Amino acid sequence: MSDFYSNAYNPDVLSCLANLSNDEVFTPPEIVNKMLDMLPQELFRSSSTTFLDPACKSGVFLREIAKRLLVGLEGEIPDLQQRIDHIFHKQLFGIAITELTSLLSRRSVYCSKYPNSVYSITRFDDPEGNVRFKRIQHHWRGRKCAFCGASRDEYDRDVALESHAYEFIHTNTPEEIFGMKFDVIIGNPPYQFNTAGDENGAQAQPIYHRFVEQALALQPRHLAMIIPSRWLAGGWGLDDFRNKMRSDTRIKEIHDFFDSNDCFPGVEIKGGVLYFHWDSGHNAPCMFVSHTKDESTSALRMLAENGCDEIIRFNEMIPIFHKIRALKEKSFATLVSGRSPFGLNTNHHGTAEKTSGSVPYYERIGYTYISKERITRNQQLVGSYKIYISKAYGANNSFPHQIINKPIFGDAGTICSGTYLLVGPFSSKIETQNAVSYMTTRFFRFMVAMLKVSQDASYKVYKLVPMQDFTEPWSDEKLYAKYGLTQEEIAFIESMIRPMELGGSSDE
């Protein structure tokens, strides 16, 4: 009887489970247990500790917690069935994200989809037990949901379809869901939802941060979640969240994975994923662990680096950042435009042949011509020298990486579509070429990599890149010497960033 629970549960089932989608990712048991290892282990030796998973999919978090409690409470509650009953009735609680995942979670946790059946390892009076699912609708305020920001056009659906109005974040009083306080809140929330396109051309809106914020509002003793890493640099709807997190000294530990496959095999999440431990009793620097393939580095540091609004991702970048910051040089980002520098989005296409009144036009499909009359922004830059750089780039998650696409020399009289950002203007052709030489260096792209955590490469990712004198060309050797980088620091840069040669295809 001592191995009853381990025989009843097969972790390989949930390890091999296919994912619903990139925003509803099932967590492998191995990762769940690494997250549980971050918590004080005495939590699993107390019969009064309460746990909540606010976004149950497979039930794996509650299942793995139960396995630890069964061992930890053996001395306090020797009888196995009494121990099982106490754990499942008094300590473990979950909120499923869909009706399907509620059934799956109960099957994983109770060994039965319906814990009031004879097949459940612990009997409840109702078919939900402590893993609930309540179908609710979005609370529309105009075209958006007041709670999660979902688009009414996309999610105002027939009641037979999933609304993706997750109960945990669609209430102002989450404490009333179970009517109790939780010591530990842990889980893997949904990451995003489709917006069906908006005026910014975006297709997916982050939602995971709302689960973190709602969990913190419940004032647990401990919070652990696995979420995309994109919030480290902020972005759409994440700036406030990032600022709160970077200044929160209760974040005790972060494990950041550049390649999401290292956590979720076969699932690509651009920018990677991380899991963290927030401890209400912690008030000190955070243990930040950077993972790349089979290597990892750790450092005890504050998330809020002086002079940087974002969170620098790799520990080895910190001393390099401070060396460059000490010179107090102007940011290269002041040369980089916002999106659609000439008011032409990615769906504005030119023609193959030049006509009267048209100008050379760089767009995603290649080099074409477009009428000057279609230019609605920055008319004064048409006649200037400039550089075009893709506003999105991210071919793979392996190192060494190219980080950005190849810069394109923009001759006077040319323009570009919203596929590109504009760098400049420059006063001469030679200055433009020298700026291109700078952008191709490993040093330049390494500084971009400090803030680039996804495919998106808006002007913000260039904020930490220092400005140079473009009356002269630049090379890595010249830059390494200027900033006094050590051989160890140079080796790290070159392990991260691969050489870039101009000419040929602009793709990696």
Q: What is the pTM of this model?
A: 0.86
- Residue 6: both structure tokens together: 């381990």
Banded model confidence at residue 198, pLDDT cuts 50, 70, 90: very low
Q: Residue 461 domain-assigned?
A: yes
Sign (positive or negative) of CA dihedral 430, 432, 436, 437: positive
Strands 408-410, 385-390: parallel, antiparallel or unpaired by DSSP? Answer: antiparallel
Rounded (to 5) percent helix, strand, coil in the chain: 30, 20, 50
pLDDT of residue 240: 92
User: Residue 314: CB partners within 8 Å, gap ≥ 6?
Assistant: 290, 297, 450, 496
pLDDT band at 9 (very low <50, low <70, confident <90, very high): very low
Q: What is the mean pLDDT of the chain?
A: 89
Say whether pLDDT at 6 is over 60.
no
In a domain, 259, yes or no: yes
How does residue 455 score in pLDDT terms, banded at 50, 70 and 90? confident
Q: Is 9 part of a structural domain of the chain?
A: yes
Q: Are 220 and 64 in contact (CB under 8 A)?
A: no
Q: How far apart are CA 232 and CA 270, in angstroms?
A: 13
Looking at the structure, tell me whether residues 180 and 237 fall in a common domain.
Answer: yes
Q: Are residues 35 and 121 in the same domain?
A: yes
The whole-angstrom separation of Cα 223 and Cα 248 is 13
Overall number of domains in the chain: 2
Q: In the sheet where 358-363 sits, what is the strand order?
A: 366-371, 358-363, 415-416
Domain span holding position 489: 332-496
d(CA 139, CA 170): 8
* pLDDT of 8 above 90: no
**Cα–Cα distance measured from residue 420 to residue 439, given in angstroms and rounded to the nearest whole number:** 15
CB-CB contact of 418 with 391 (8 Å): yes
The answer on pLDDT for 431 being more than 90 is: yes
Domain with residue 166: its CATH number is 3.40.50.150
H helix count then E strand count, the chain: 14, 19
| 403 and 272 together in one domain | no
Examine residue 506 and state whether it is found in any structural domain, yes or no. no
Are 283 and 396 contained in the same domain? no
The CATH number given to whatever domain includes residue 421 is: 3.90.220
| Residue-level pLDDT at 16 | 41
Assess whether 357 and 453 both reside in one domain: yes
Same domain, 436 and 473: yes
Based on the fold, state whether residues 83 and 152 are members of the same structural domain: yes
Mean pLDDT over 394-399 rounds to 67
Give the pLDDT band of residue 396 (cuts 50, 70, 90): low
Which residues are bridge partners to 206 per DSSP?
Answer: 192
Amino acid identity, position 25? V
Q: What local confidence, expressed as pLDDT, does residue 195 receive?
A: 59
Whether pLDDT at 62 is above 50: yes
Structural domain contains residue 320: no
**Of 315, 344, 360, at which residue does a domain stop?**
315
Same domain, 287 and 345: no
pLDDT digits (tens, 9 = 90+) for 399-410: 788 999 999 999
- Same domain, yes or no, for 236 and 373? no
pLDDT at 76 over 90: yes
Question: Within this chain, do residues 74 and 118 fall inside the same structural domain, yes or no?
Answer: yes
Q: Are residues 282 and 425 in the same domain?
A: no
The mean-pLDDT minimum among 91-100, 245-254, 294-303, 331-340 falls in 294-303
